[in-house]
Structure formats: C-alpha cells, structure tokens
Amino acid sequence: MTATPPQVHKPVTKSPFKFLDAYTAQDKDCFFGRELEQQRLVELIFRSKLLLIYGQSGTGKSSLVQCGLASVMPSTDYFPLIVRRRSNFIKSLQVSLSTLLDHNDETDPIDALNRLSGYLMRPVYLIFDQFEEIFISGDRPEQIQFFELLKALYTSPGQFKLLLVMREEYIAYLYPFEDNLPTLFDFRLRLEPMSEKNLRAVIVGTCEVAGIRINNPDQTVPAIIATNQSSKNPFQLPYLQVYLDRLWRKAINNQNAQPVIFSPELVSQVGKIDDVLAQFVTEQSEEISDKLADDEKSAVKAILEALVTYEGTRRECTVDMLVNETGYRPVFIHQIGEALEAARIVQFEDGSYELAHDSLARVIDQGRSTEQRQINDILKRLKEAYQEYVVNHGAQDLLLPQRRLAEIGLYEIAIRTELERSAPNGAGILQFITASISYLEQKRLAEVDEQRRKNNRLRLTIIGVTALLILAVIAMGFALKQKSDADKAKEQAEAALNSVTLQRARAAYSKGLRYAEYNEPNLAKKSFGEATALINQLPPAPNFPYDEQQEARRNLAQLKAKLQPSAIPKPSRP
C-alpha cells in the first residue's frame, strides 16, 4: 500500500473562533455568557476543598474552570494544575508534578503538592478535567486507587483544592465511592445549557473581540441562534463555534474588504444545518480521503472510528494502537493524523491521537454501520451488567441470562475484539461472560440431573405401581378361580342333590306302585304325593352330574309324566 500524504486547504487568515477547543486563561478577554456561573464557582471553591462540576457535553465545563475562573480570580491567588487521565489519572498527576518540580521520580502526590504550593506561595487547584474518563477507560483497581488518593488529598491539611469536572451522565458512577468520601456530593455545580440571552452575549462579544462587524444585530444574532437549534439537536456551544467559523469562512470568500461582516444575508447563504458538526466532519473527511488512492480512502473513517469507544466517547490511541486496529503502516497513520489535526478534528499530544471534542465522538459514532451500532449497544448493556455484578460482589443472580448470551453469541468475535481493544475492564467482562456461560451450563446440568432423578423416581413409582397391579391381577385371578371353583363345586353339589332328590322321588314312586299293587290305596297315595313333592323341590331346569345328565333328565321327564293325576295307577280290588 502506497501512502499519499493528504493535503488540507488552509485559509490565509486564521479563524478567530475557538472552534472545538476549550477556552483557557489566555482567552479571558473573549469569554462571555457565564458571569453567574463564574461567581457561583468562586463561592463554592472558598467553601469547600472538594468541588464537583458537571453538565451535559458541550456546555463549556472545561472552559469555565480554565478560563472562567481565571477571569474572576487573580493568578496570584491560585495555581491551576489541569490533569487529564491519559493512561491513568494518578500517573498523569505524578508526571505533571515531577515536571513542575523538576523531578523524574514518581513522587508521592501529597508531598509533591505541599512542596509545589510552598514554592509558589499560593494554593494549588487540582483540576481533574474530563473526569468521566476514569469510568470510560479506567478499570476498577484504578478507580479504587484514585478515590483512595482523593480521600487522602481531601483530608490532608495541604494548601490545595480538588475540582472534578465531568459529564453528568456519568454521575451515577460516583455513588459506589460515596461511603469512602461522604462529602463527594456536598458541594457541586451543574452547568446548565446557555440561555438565549447568554448565547447572544457570546456571539456579540466574540465577534467584537475578533473585529467582526454584525449588521442588524437584532436580526442577525437571533438568526444564528435559530439556525443552530432544532428538535433533533439541542443547542451546544461547540455547534455554535463551528457555525460561527463557517460564517467567517463564507464571509472571507465573499468579502474582499475588512472588517468581516456578519449579516442576515450571510446567515441565509450558509443556511440551516441540521447537524453542523456532522457536516463539518463529513466535509473534512471527504476532503482528506479525496487525496488518497482508491484502496486507502476508507483509512480516514477507520482511524476516526478507532478513536471512539463503543460507548460513543473519545479515546486516546497511540500510533501502535492504531496500527494494530486498522492495519495501516505507522507513516501512513501519521500522515492521516496530521491532516486530521490540521482540520482541527484530532489532537496529537504525548504520543497519542485524540478527537478534539466529545461532540465529535458522538458524530462519528452515529456514522457507524447499523451492525456496529448494534454491537456497541450490546457492549454498553454488557458493561452495565458487569458493573452491577461487581458492585454486588459477584451475585449469581446478576450473571447474564441465556437470552443475553445468545445475543452476544451472534457477534462473538466482534465483541471480543472490541473488549480487548478499548474496554478497561475487558478481561473482567470476558470472565463475566465465561462465568455466566459456566453458571448456565451448571444450572442446565443440575436441571438435567434433577430431571434424571425425577425420571428415576417416576420409573420406580411406575415399577411399584405395575408390580402392585400385577399382584392385584394375580390376586383377582386367584379370587376368580376360587369363585369359579366354588361355583363349580356348588353346581356339582346342586347336581348331586338334584340326582339324590330324583332318586328319592323315583323310589317314592316305586313304593307307591307296590302299595297300589298290594291294594294299599292310602299308602300308595302317600308315596305318590311324596314323589310329587320331591319333584317339585327341583328347579325348573335342574342340573345333574355330567356323566348322568341325559339319563337323569329323561328319567325326570318320565317321572313327571307318570305323576300326572291321570297317569297314577289305581289300587286293584280283590
């Protein structure tokens, strides 16, 4: 891959606007619109050693503590020491103190601050700017170590103040440390978005200092404000600075004479831009990309996205980091970085590239692909779940459910890469995912084992019930057999009794015949009556023993016929 150094158009005259840079002590003469906040800041500083300054991104927090404070407090009354996290807040503080004290060792911060305030004969104001970075890029050990140092600094009798400057959406991350530092929220200042009145003061005052004349200010200034406001984008100071810079460039191109003039017509020419910052990034990126070879045009987008975390916040990257993440050569990355720096999109400091403002990170994050944004959304929720898990000392009920793990599994490689790339707790989050998988697997195995035990108990129950049923069937069969045998025995007994009754009836009939033959009519009649009574004792269809069944029934029929009154023989007379 051959690198073509991109060239960025540079205006002949430098823009008088701060653009995305924070106001510093050198900008006191052009800092407007925050008079009440400056007064409130000074009051709180004199009341407490620890102060929390917070607000939305783009409200001018850094400008207030760097420039606004310098505007109302003489430099002889305090010494501001601005500390950015870089790779670690404590290390950055130690480096700053070592540089000021001309020491190369990592001096104890409290001792170094006491010596520094003694040399300067004024209190040191430690300003931890963009403090949210400790939660965005710092891991848990760094956070704990820093707040232990913060408590030691707060309780120390040294002549210094502690100012934490951060975006308000990260305020909740402070709560776990409130027990260790109970006064953390006692003295705080929320920087509200500027009112329209203050925005007018900013526009008019900045233009006046820059020598820009505003024609018809009652129309031009409201038009500038209205052009930058929409339901989609709340008003932010970086947007105003970028828009004023755009107006200035348009005026420079249109007007040959000095001074530069802002007018309603100029505002109308520039027009309403839904997202002036997004348009600025797009224009500058395309201008740099157009100077590159076709196979290199995606480099600008790749490098800018590498400077943004999955949470949509900016991150510092060394050239080596960018080489590893983009695959481009160091020389080529430096060339792109210099072009982006000239375009005022990135800054290069202490060997690292960083976006010039948080607002740029939001713009670049919104320009990512739909898939990447889905991955980033998963990563955000994953980080929140991990933090809750850590705060609650690894409670098992806070491990990831199967649905979340399935969601992570769809983008496993990309998520793992992003965690290893930019997440300060990346290793811990990966272990969190592994622990969740292991817990669910153990839970699944336990459920399988429990189901197996239930199945075994059910199997034993079925076997027991089956055995009881078999025994019941056997018992029933035995009972039925016994009943059958009893019925059979009863039938046989009845048959035998019937046979005996028949035999007795026949015997009585034979006796009657003999009595009739012997002319014993009374005895004969008695015997025939006895035979008839015995026959009547038999059931209508009597059974007889099997081997004499037919003969017995024939004999019974014959006997019944013979016992008919008409058939009974009469005694003969001598």
- The DSSP result for 28-87, as a single string, is GGG--S-HHHHHHHHHHHHH-SEEEEEE-TTS-HHHIIIIIHHHHS-TTT-EEEEE--TT
Q: pLDDT at position 362, please? A: 86
> What is the chain's length?
574
Distance CA(160)–CA(93), nearest Å, equals 14
**SS3 label, residue 355:** strand
CATH number at residue 63: 3.40.50.300
Q: pLDDT at position 123, please? A: 95
The answer to whether position 324 is within a domain reads: no
Q: pLDDT at position 219, please? A: 94
The answer to whether position 39 is within a domain reads: yes
Of 169, 192, 215, the residue at which a domain comes to its end is: 192
Q: pLDDT at position 131, please? A: 95
For the chain, how big is the Rg over CA atoms in Å?
53
Antiparallel, parallel or unpaired: β 79-83 and 188-191: unpaired
Same-domain status, 442 and 408: no
Same-domain status, 490 and 543: yes
Same-domain status, 43 and 128: yes
How many CB atoms are located within 10 Å of the residue 399 CB? 20
Same-domain status, 449 and 558: yes
Q: pLDDT at position 10, please? A: 40
Distance CA(267)–CA(254), nearest Å, equals 13
The answer to whether position 132 is within a domain reads: yes
Distance CA(238)–CA(56), nearest Å, equals 12
Same-domain status, 134 and 208: no
Structure tokens at 434: 């592994």
Per-residue pLDDT of the chain (574 residues; tens, 9 = 90+): 344 444 443 444 678 888 888 899 999 988 999 999 999 999 999 999 999 999 998 899 999 999 999 999 999 999 999 999 988 999 999 999 988 988 766 668 999 999 999 999 999 999 999 999 999 888 889 999 999 999 999 999 989 999 999 999 999 999 999 998 999 999 999 999 988 899 999 999 999 998 999 999 999 999 998 887 765 555 677 788 888 988 998 888 887 667 889 999 999 988 876 677 888 899 899 999 999 998 888 999 999 999 988 778 888 899 998 998 888 999 999 999 999 999 889 999 888 999 988 888 888 988 888 888 888 888 888 888 888 888 888 888 889 999 888 888 888 888 888 888 766 778 888 888 999 999 898 988 998 999 999 999 999 999 999 999 999 999 888 888 888 888 888 888 888 888 888 888 888 888 888 888 888 888 888 888 888 888 888 888 888 888 888 888 888 888 888 888 887 877 665 5
Q: pLDDT at position 571, please? A: 64
Which secondary structure element, helix H or strand E, spans residue 318, and what is its range? strand 317-318
Same-domain status, 183 and 246: no
Same-domain status, 150 and 115: yes
What are the E-state strand segments in 168-273?
188-191, 213-214, 261-262
The answer to whether position 28 is within a domain reads: no
- Domain containing 455 equals 436-562
The answer to whether position 327 is within a domain reads: no
Q: pLDDT at position 7, please? A: 43
Of 274, 292, 327, the residue at which a domain comes to its end is: 274
Q: pLDDT at position 2, please? A: 40
Distance CA(427)–CA(507), nearest Å, equals 116
Structure tokens at 179: 């027990």
Which secondary structure element, helix H or strand E, spans residue 100, and what is its range? helix 89-101
What one-letter code names the amino acid at 305?
A: E
The answer to whether position 299 is within a domain reads: no
Q: Are 228 and 235 in contact (CB under 8 A)?
A: yes
Of 214, 246, 274, the residue at which a domain comes to its end is: 274
Q: pLDDT at position 569, please? A: 76
The answer to whether position 26 is within a domain reads: no
Q: Would you give the distance in Å from CA 339 to the centre of its chain? A: 38
Same-domain status, 56 and 129: yes
Same-domain status, 440 and 547: yes
Q: How many domains does the chain have?
A: 4
Same-domain status, 440 and 522: yes
Residues 431, 433, 435, 439: what is their CA dihedral angle, to the nearest 10 degrees?
180
How many CB atoms are located within 10 Å of the residue 5 CB? 13
**SS3 label, residue 348:** strand
Q: Please give the backbone phi and psi of residue 362, each rounded to the nearest 5 degrees, phi first.
A: -60, -45
Same-domain status, 547 and 446: yes
Q: pLDDT at position 172, please? A: 92
Give the bridge partners for 82, in sequence order: 127
Same-domain status, 162 and 203: no
The answer to whether position 364 is within a domain reads: no
Q: Residue 351 burial by CB count (10 A; 0-12/13-18/19+): exposed, middle or buried?
A: exposed
CATH number at residue 243: 1.10.8
Residue 339: name the closest of 287, 295, 302 by CA: 287
Strand arrangement, sheet containing 124-128: 79-83, 124-128, 160-167, 50-55, 188-191
